[in-house]
């Protein structure tokens, strides 16, 4: 089955810093989503981005489907950005969402 790897696994930042999270996937996908899982466990949709670039406030994402990776940029990080960031890809063959390994982000004041 399709493999989804995220890096780095852990990231510690001071408030105001910028960061880039990476998601690599091993095969063609129908779509790609980025999620933020907050400390209470809720998965919040950040982007639906099978290809191209999107921006939403301090967050932006870029997916290069032909090279099988996606990047999530967080600028001017805030303590509320803390949590785990997952990318998830829709397997081309099964239409199921396959989650990556996650990046745990901690932002300190």
Partner 1 sequence: DAMVIQNPRYQVTQFGKPVTLSCSQTLNHNVMYWYQQKSSQAPKLLFHYYDKDFNNEADTPDNFQSRRPNTSFCFLDIRSPGLGDAAMYLCATSRGGTEETQYFGPGTRLLVL
Chain residues binding partner 1 by CB under 8 A are 30-31, 33, 35, 40-45, 48, 50, 86, 88, 90, 95-97, 99-102
Q: Taking the mean position of all CA atoms in its chain, how far away is CA 54?
A: 13
> Rounded CA gap, 102 and 100, in Å?
6
DSSP designation for 25: E
Nearest to partner 1 of 13, 100 (CB atom):
100
Q: In angstroms, what is the minimal distance from the CB of 31 to partner 1?
A: 5
Nearest to partner 1 of 16, 96 (CB atom):
96
> Rounded CA gap, 86 and 99, in Å?
7
Nearest to partner 1 of 25, 86 (CB atom):
86
CB-CB neighbours of 49 under 10 Å: 21
Q: In angstroms, what is the minimal distance from the CB of 43 to partner 1?
A: 4
């Amino acid at each position: 089955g399709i493999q989804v790897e995220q890096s780095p696994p852990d990231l510690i930042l001071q408030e105001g810093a910028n960061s880039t999270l990476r998601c690599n996937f091993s095969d063609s996908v129908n779509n790609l989503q980025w999620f933020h899982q907050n400390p209470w466990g809720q998965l919040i949709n950040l982007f639906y981005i099978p290809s191209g670039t999107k921006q939403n406030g301090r967050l932006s994402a870029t997916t290069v489907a032909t090279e099988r990776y996606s990047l999530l940029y967080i600028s001017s990080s805030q303590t509320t950005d803390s949590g785990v960031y997952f990318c998830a890809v829709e397997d081309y063959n099964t239409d199921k969402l396959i989650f990556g390994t996650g990046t745990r982000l901690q932002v300190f004041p």
